[in-house]
Structure 1
């Protein structure tokens, strides 16, 4: 059974992933690259955001390129460490993101 702490951490991780998606929406070139890598069409994003694998993929995408991670952090005020923590939570013990 998940503790309240685990549930809160999961919600924080989800919120971080959604923040990444929001930031990518303002970065059309990066958003296009992310969508191409995932195979998700722009029309599918709204439903994909409910998929934990999609959320993990957002974190994988950001963490795969440090300058993009830093740009996200500077633009949003979300520390890179929070992204790393969210990645750990959403990717699970086996690092199973989709991207």
Structure 2
């Protein structure tokens, strides 16, 4: 997965979350961002990575989002890995 494709999918996730008030409120609370911040940071790959981190914590939300864009749910982790901070951590 190329970073640019991952960014486009993450922006789709942001738009999807905007239609899910409870999820968006949770994300705003967790990120400390405001609704105004979303507009300015929607193209920031690091911010989009954090958004996907938040989304990936909820299996039901992952399934619902992925269904809307016709993406196999197991591929969302690959999308996240293509953004900054998504590298696998090796503790050995």
Across the two proteins, how many residue pairs are aligned to each other? 88
Q: Does 2:37 correspond to 1:47?
A: no
Partner of 2:57: 64
Q: Which has the higher helix share?
A: 1
Query: Cα RMSD over matched residues?
Result: 1.7
Note the residue ranges of structure 1 that are not aligned, 5 or more in a row: 1-7
Partner of 1:4: none
Deviation at 1:56, TM superposition (A): 0.2
Q: Deviations over 1:3-46 (max 9, x none)?
A: xxxxx711110011001001011111111111111011001111
Moved more, 73-82 or 31-40: 73-82
Distance 2:6 2:88 in 1: 17
Runs of 4 or more, structure 1, over 4 Å off, are none
Normalised to the residue count of structure 1, the TM-score between the two structures is 0.79
Distance 1:66 1:22 in 2: 18
Q: Is the 8 A contact 2:62 2:73 kept in 1?
A: yes
Partner of 2:16: 23
Distance 1:70 1:92 in 2: 20
